[in-house]
């Protein structure tokens, strides 16, 4: 599914039916991110639900907040379930799958001509207790993972553009998570290749990704991905993408070599993507970010988008949710927040405008 091409077709049809007068008037500046994006670049958002929302005052924004749904459909051409396809939600008991929330998102995306990024299949976190504490033999665990991947990827075959097959498998030093990742600990690193093979069998059309945070720059962790993807591809394993989540923090500085880093993966023949962008900051005591913070945040958003625009294989650029009230950030970093591109009433922050302007500039 290529929604952007459809959008272009719709725009062309409009020009045709608008008659000669339309040619005299320059096309209006696109006013949403999805309309402003150049052809071939999907602009996405995470869809809130599950996870930290469970204990928040907003139980399920996706089913209860119509203005939120309107923003998701009007602004974005790609959606990523923030939690709804993770093991603990989609596979709550060994013999039970719960596809309700995930189906809702995929159906919504289809109605609104949006791509979907599937997230995620092999991860150390948000696994159900029955799995983590199940005392399974290695053979049983292998069968469980195989069945899960075949079932979940197979259910949405042809409807999901990109899958985060393996999420966050390396630590900050570029070492495989051999302790906290149940799959790698119990089955060894070879299970990673199998996960990609099984996903490919279940949906040959989906692009299969490694996805992680802290890999925006060239560093030990992104080097580890570079080596692993090179090796797996040489062995014929269907690894097709590398994505940087991009959970940025004004206090950490901007990863200035982001373009160069994505480019080296593109040079290996991989798709690249930005999958979970947000830019957190520590507001002053009033709780409201300063003008300077908002301007700097806008600059981080724009520079991340520019990096994606510069790399030929970067076809997907996703922000990790909005508005601030639905962001995961304050539940994890209590002093920080204001990380998204919209205020709580869905009005646009400077960061939103910087994305829109960057897209408009890329098109012209
Ligand atoms: O945003 C997600 C939040 O609602 C969950 O509580 C949290 C649990 O780990 O996961 C968050 O999403 C993470 C994503 O799945 C993987 N990359 C890091 C994201 C932020 O923690």
The string of pLDDT tens digits covering residues 140-174 is 999 999 999 999 999 999 999 999 999 999 999 99
Give residues (CB < 6 A) around ligand 1.
51-52, 82-83, 125-126, 213, 245, 276, 328
Q: Evaluate if residue 5 carries a pLDDT over 90.
A: no
As to burial, measured by CB atoms within 10 angstroms (0-12 exposed, 13-18 middle, 19+ buried), residue 243 is buried
pLDDT band at 28 (very low <50, low <70, confident <90, very high): low
Nearest by Cα to 119 from 137, 131, 132, 101: 101
pLDDT in tens, 29-38: 889 999 999 9
What pLDDT sits at residue 245? 99
CA atoms of 190 and 307, how far apart (whole Å): 32
What pLDDT sits at residue 142? 98
Q: Evaluate if residue 331 carries a pLDDT over 80.
A: yes
Q: Evaluate if residue 8 carries a pLDDT over 60.
A: no
pLDDT band at 27 (very low <50, low <70, confident <90, very high): low
What ranges do the domains of the chain cover? 31-363
Which residues is 348 bridged to in the sheet?
342
Looking at the CA of residue 52, tell me the nearest atom of ligand 1.
Answer: 6
What pLDDT sits at residue 155? 98
Mean residue pLDDT of the chain comes to: 93
Q: How far is the CA of 331 from the centre of ligand 1 (A)?
A: 10
What pLDDT sits at residue 364? 86
Tokens of 212: 């992680």
Nearest by Cα to 118 from 42, 46, 171, 37: 46
pLDDT band at 59 (very low <50, low <70, confident <90, very high): confident
**CATH fold group of domain 31-363:** TIM Barrel (3.20.20)
CA atoms of 219 and 227, how far apart (whole Å): 12
Nearest by Cα to 304 from 363, 348, 261: 261
Looking at the CA of residue 213, tell me the nearest atom of ligand 1.
Answer: 17
| Pair 109, 3: CB distance under 8 Å | no
CA atoms of 138 and 62, how far apart (whole Å): 38
What pLDDT sits at residue 7? 38
Q: Evaluate if residue 26 carries a pLDDT over 90.
A: no
Mention every residue, 6+ apart, whose C-beta is less than 8 A from residue 2.
40
**Ligand 1 site-directed mutation target among 122, 213, 320, most atoms within 8 Å of CB:** 320
DSSP, res 11? H
What pLDDT sits at residue 2? 35
CA atoms of 93 and 199, how far apart (whole Å): 21
**168 tagged catalytic:** yes
pLDDT band at 56 (very low <50, low <70, confident <90, very high): confident
**110 tagged catalytic:** no
């Amino acid at each position: 599914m290529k929604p952007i091409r459809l959008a272009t077709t719709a725009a062309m049809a409009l020009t045709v039916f608008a008659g000669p007068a339309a040619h005299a008037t320059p096309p209006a500046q696109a006013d949403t991110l999805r309309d402003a994006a150049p052809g071939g670049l999907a602009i996405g958002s995470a869809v809130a639900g599950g996870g930290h929302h469970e204990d928040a005052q907003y139980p399920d924004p996706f089913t209860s907040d119509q203005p939120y749904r309107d923003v998701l459909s009007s602004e974005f051409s790609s959606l990523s379930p923030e939690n709804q396809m993770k093991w603990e939600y989609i596979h709550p008991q060994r013999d039970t799958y719960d596809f309700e929330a995930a189906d809702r998102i995929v159906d919504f995306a289809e109605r609104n001509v949006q791509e979907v990024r599937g997230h995620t299949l092999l991860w150390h976190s948000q696994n159900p207790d029955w799995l983590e504490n199940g005392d399974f033999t290695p053979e049983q665990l292998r069968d469980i993972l195989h069945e899960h991947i075949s079932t979940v990827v197979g259910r949405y075959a042809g409807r999901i553009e990109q899958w985060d097959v393996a999420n966050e498998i390396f630590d900050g030093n570029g070492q495989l998570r051999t302790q906290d990742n149940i799959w790698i600990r119990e089955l060894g690193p070879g299970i990673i290749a199998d996960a990609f093979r099984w996903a490919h069998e279940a949906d040959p059309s989906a692009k299969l990704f490694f996805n992680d945070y802290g890999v925006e720059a060239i560093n030990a962790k992104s080097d580890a991905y570079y080596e692993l993807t090179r090796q797996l591809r040489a062995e014929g394993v269907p690894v097709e993408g590398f994505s940087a989540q991009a959970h940025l923090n004004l206090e950490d500085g901007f990863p200035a070599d982001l373009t160069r880093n994505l480019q080296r993966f593109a040079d290996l023949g991989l798709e690249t993507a930005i999958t979970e962008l947000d830019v957190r900051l520590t507001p002053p005591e009033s709780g409201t970010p300063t003008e300077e913070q908002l301007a700097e945040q806008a600059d981080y958003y724009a520079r991340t988008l520019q990096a994606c625009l510069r790399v030929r294989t970067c076809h997907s650029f996703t922000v990790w949710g909005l508005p601030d009230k639905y962001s995961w950030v304050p539940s994890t970093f209590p002093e920080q927040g204001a990380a998204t591109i919209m205020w709580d009433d869905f009005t646009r922050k400077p960061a939103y405008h910087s994305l829109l302007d960057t897209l408009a500039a890329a098109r012209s």
